[in-house]
Amino acid sequence: MAARLAVSACLLACSLVAASAASGAPGDDPVRPQPPTSAEVERSTQRFLAREGDHREAGGAVADAAAGTGGVGQGGGGGGGTFPGRRMIALYGAPQMTATILGRKSVGAAKKQARKQASKYKGEGRPVVPGLDLVATIATADRGGDGKYRDRQSNGVIERYFDAAREIDGHLMLDIQPGRSSFISELKAHREWISRPDVDVALDPEWNVGKKGKPGKTTGKVTAKELNKISSFISDLTEREDLPPKALVIHQFRQGSVKNRDKIKQPDGVQVTLNFDGIGSRSAKAAGYRRLTRDGLFAGFSLFYRLDKGLMSPKQVAGLDPTPDFVLYQ
């Protein structure tokens, strides 16, 4: 999502609200920040782990996953999942991504912020579930050890955010920026975590650059065919592990982010959600959101604490048509 953080309100209004520009060449953006290198991710990870102090042995929480035990968050979605009975209010980012809210706060501070932000939506039409949207696979500027232009969070990092989400009776969402890998490969790599009943999934097509693309240079996308394969994988997992339905959030900031959206399926055990992820004024964001939602799928809406031109209030967000099921703060 780093590239979207640089999109101006003017560019958003021109490229998302005007139909003619929606199919333009986002690679022509004059400002395109580079993703971190794999070495930078590693250094940031070590600083984060040192700062956060000792924790349970890496993988300890994963070992518990098969049993699906512990934490009030386990029942957060209820037997029918989170949507549409509840609205999830989540904070986005990673400790290695300092432009994001999770990158600017300690785990403890993020936990408090998530609870506080979610509480502001009480009385806006439905109960709320707080969430932490952690980028679990980070797109990188270099090839890395296996040439995939991505790095994965360690179990130690994921565990800290997982425990924090449970402590506020919320959900952890694992966000995927695949680089030259694939969404399905990354989901399988995080499978033990996703097998937990209170862990959901988010996909960032902008960083799905294919076998020859390069994050920060190539603007990625995802097709309905890919998404249906992913949702089928999650559907099979929820059935096999007897899990409540899981949210599958797909970030989008332009028409080309998701190809053939009319062919996206909504299988049992999965709550497919298209999340509008544009930056700008209230009117531009509302217009872009209306254009990129789709009947039959759940709807998400992103807000940027520092970059939006006038941060929308919870009442304004809840008043969008359709009203968002998922709200993400960055």
Tell me the per-residue pLDDT of 219-276, one tens digit each, with 9 for 90 and over: 999 999 999 999 999 999 999 999 999 999 999 999 999 999 999 999 999 999 999 9
Whole-model pTM: value is 0.85
CA distances from 319 to 32, 124, 130, 254, 314 (A): 32, 9, 19, 22, 8
Q: What angle do CA 240, 273, 100 make, to 5 degrees?
A: 105
Residue indicated by tokens 């509302």: 286
Residue 34: the pLDDT is 80
The rounded distance, in Å, linking the Cα atoms of 231 and 271 is: 9
Q: Where are the alpha helices (DSSP H) in the chain?
A: 9-12, 19-22, 38-52, 60-65, 101-104, 107-119, 155-167, 183-189, 191-194, 224-241, 282-292, 314-318
Q: In terms of Cα–Cα distance, which of 236, 143, 133, 144 is closest to 184?
A: 236
The answer for residues whose C-beta is within 8 angstroms of residue 158's C-beta and 6 or more apart is: 61, 134, 136, 172, 174, 190, 193
**β-pairing, 128-139 with 150-152?**
antiparallel
Task: Locate 250 and state its tokens.
Answer: 């797909």
Q: Are 22 and 77 in contact (CB under 8 A)?
A: no
Residue 33: the pLDDT is 60
Intervals of the chain under pLDDT 50: 1-32, 57-78
Q: In terms of Cα–Cα distance, which of 132, 68, 126 is closest to 100?
A: 132
The rounded distance, in Å, linking the Cα atoms of 157 and 330 is: 19
Q: In terms of Cα–Cα distance, which of 128, 127, 124, 134 is closest to 89?
A: 128
Q: Which residues of 119-133 are buried (b: 16+ CB within 10 A; e: fewer)?
A: eebeebebebbbbbb
DSSP-based helix, strand, coil % in the chain, nearest 5: 40, 20, 40
Is CATH 3.20.20 what the domain over 4-329 is classified as, yes or no? Answer: yes
CA distances from 278 to 18, 50, 170, 281, 309 (A): 14, 34, 25, 10, 11
